[in-house]
A and B are shown apart, each in its own frame.
Chain A
Amino acid sequence: MRDLRVNLAVRGGECLIIRGASGSGKTRLLRAIADLDPASGEIVLDGVAREAIAAPQWRRRICYVSAEPGWWCDTVAPHYPTWPSLLPMLGALGLSADHGARVVASLSTGERQRLALLRALAIEPEVLLLDEPTSALDAAATRAVEAILQDRMEHGLAILLATHNSAQAERFGGRHLVLCSATVEATER
Chain B
Amino acid sequence: MNYTALSYSDLLAPAALILINGALSLRLRLGVERQLIVAALRMVAQLSLAGFVLTLLFRAVSPFWTGLAAAVMVLFAGREIAARQSRKLIGGWSFGLGTLCALTAAGSLTALTLVGPIAADPWYHPRYALPLLGMILGNTLTGISLGLDVLTNGAVRQRAAIEAQLALGASRWTALLPVTRDAIRSGLIPTINTMAAIGIVSLPGMMTGQILAGVAPVDAVKYQILIMFVIAGATAFGTLMAVAAAVFLITDDRHRMRLDRLG
Q: If A55-B254, A72-B178 touch, does A66 touch B160 (CB 8 Å cutoff)?
A: yes
| CB-based A-B contact count at 8 angstroms | 63
Q: What residues on B are CB-neighbors of A68 within 8 Å?
A: 160
Contact of B256 among A36, A70, A72, A116 (CB under 8 A): A36
Task: Check if A70 sits within 8 Å of B254, measured CB to CB.
Answer: no
CB distance from B218 to the nearest CB of A (A): 49
Known: A36-B256, A38-B256. A123 touches B161 (CB 8 A): no
- B160–A70 contact, CB under 8 A? yes
With a cutoff of 8 Å between Cβ atoms, the chain A residues found around residue B253 in the complex are 55
- B234-260 contacts to A (CB < 8 Å): 252-257
Query: Of B164, B169, B257, which contacts A72 at CB under 8 A?
Result: B164
Q: Which of B149-189 contact A (CB under 8 A)?
A: 158-171, 178
Q: Give the CA-CA distance A65 to B256 in the complex, in Å.
A: 15
Say which size band chain A's interface belongs to: 20 to 34
Picked from A34, A56, A63, the residue with its CB within 8 Å of the CB of B171 is A56
Residues of B with C-beta under 8 A to A56: 166, 169-171, 255
Q: Does A60 contact B (CB under 8 A)?
A: yes
What residues of chain A lie closer than 8 Å to B163, measured between beta carbons?
A: 36, 66, 70
Task: Give B167's nearest chain A residue, CB to CB.
Answer: A64
Using known A-B contacts A36-B256, A38-B256, A55-B255, determine if residue A72 contacts B165 with beta carbons closer than 8 Å: yes
Total B residues in contact with A, Cβ cutoff 8 Å: 21
Instruction: Assess whether B254 is in contact with A60, with CB atoms less than 8 Å apart.
Output: no
Known: A36-B256, A66-B160, A70-B162. A59 touches B171 (CB 8 A): no
Residues of A within 8 A of B178 (CB): 72
List the B side residues contacting A38 at CB < 8 Å.
252, 254, 256
Residue of A nearest to B256 (CB): A36
Asked whether A69 lies within 8 Å of B160 as measured between CB atoms, the reply is: yes
Using A55-B254, A72-B158, A72-B178 as known contacts, say yes or no to A63 and B168 having CB atoms under 8 A apart: yes
* Contact A70 to B170, CB < 8 A, known contacts A37-B256, A38-B256, A55-B255: no
A55 to B166, CA, bound (A): 9
CB-CB < 8 A to A123: which residues of B?
168-169
> Does A120 reach chain B (CB closer than 8 Å)?
yes
Question: Which residues of chain A from 112 to 138 have any CB-CB distance to chain B below 8 Å in the complex?
Answer: 116, 119-120, 123
A35 to B255, CA, bound (A): 9
Not counting A66-B163, A72-B178, a sample of 15 additional A-B residue pairs whose C-beta atoms are within 8 angstroms of each other reads: A35-B256, A36-B163, A36-B256, A37-B256, A38-B252, A38-B256, A55-B253, A59-B166, A59-B167, A60-B169, A65-B167, A66-B160, A72-B158, A119-B168, A123-B168
| 13 A-B pairs in the complex with CB atoms less than 8 angstroms apart | A37-B256, A55-B254, A56-B169, A59-B166, A63-B168, A66-B163, A69-B160, A70-B159, A70-B160, A71-B161, A72-B158, A72-B161, A72-B165
